[in-house]
Amino acid sequence: MVYPSLREEFSFNTSVVPRISCIRRILFIGSKKDYKGFNTFVELSSFFPNLDFTLVLNDSTYNGQPFDFHGNVFYNQKDILAHILNSDVVLNLSKCNQWRETFGLTIIEAMSQGRIVITPNCGAFVEYIKHGDNGFLVDTSNLDEVIKLMQELLRLSNIELAKISNCAKKTACSFEFAYRQQQNRSIIWSCL
């Protein structure tokens, strides 16, 4: 049986997770493809000049073309955990009419570290993200909706952020390898 699970470095037992006390550092991990939401992220950064935006792009997407982005850009996805720990919010802005995520590993990894996540309101995300509880779902093809959601996030209190962070970690726990293995054994035993 094949089932998705978190990589070992995202295990809850080995991670020291800094708490989120405010929304300041915004992270996008992906490619420069428009259908993955790259252009939306770049545009979003211009609406919030007081926030720190970071792009972590895979090496294959760098084609030397400059783009207007006033944040940090990394062209290597080797140490994703460090980037996630250095963020408050992790976005997946894939456009539903062009691309549907079938799992969203980076989002689960971010949730395992108690990060606030924003994802499309389609694809696999709707199966494990409950809007406002453990993350946020939004129409990523509508920049105004994404901006509005970011503005709402910036108004959340420390208590509200902590609650969402804790719920995100609990959700991600069900994607730990040991948990999945145990669930799989339970299913097999109940079938015998």
Query: Between residues 187 and 110, which one has the greater pLDDT?
Result: 110
pLDDT 10s digits, 51-79: 999 999 886 655 666 677 888 888 877 78
Domain annotation covers residue 1 = no
pLDDT of residue 190: 40
Domain assignment of residue 3, yes or no: no
**Sequence-separated contacts (24+) of 117-120 with Cβ below 8 Å:** 117/89, 117/90, 117/91, 117/92, 117/168, 118/89, 118/90, 118/91, 118/92, 118/93, 118/146, 118/149, 118/150, 118/153, 119/91, 119/92, 120/92, 120/93, 120/94, 120/95, 120/96
Cα separation, 38 vs 35, whole angstroms: 8
- In this structure, is residue 112 part of a structural domain? yes
CATH number at residue 22: 3.40.50.2000
Residue 47 CA neighbour count, 13 Å, CB half = 16
Residue 108 forms part of a structural domain: yes
Residue 19: is its pLDDT beyond 70? no
Number of domains the chain contains:
1
Within a domain: 2: no
Residue 173 falls inside a structural domain: yes
- Averaged confidence pLDDT in the chain: 83
Give the structural domain span for 185.
Answer: 8-191
Residue whose tokens read 């770049």: 42
Question: What is the maximum span of the chain, computed from C-alpha positions, in angstroms?
Answer: 59
Query: What digits encode the pLDDT tens for the residues 98-144?
Result: 777 767 889 999 999 999 999 999 988 999 999 999 999 999 999 99
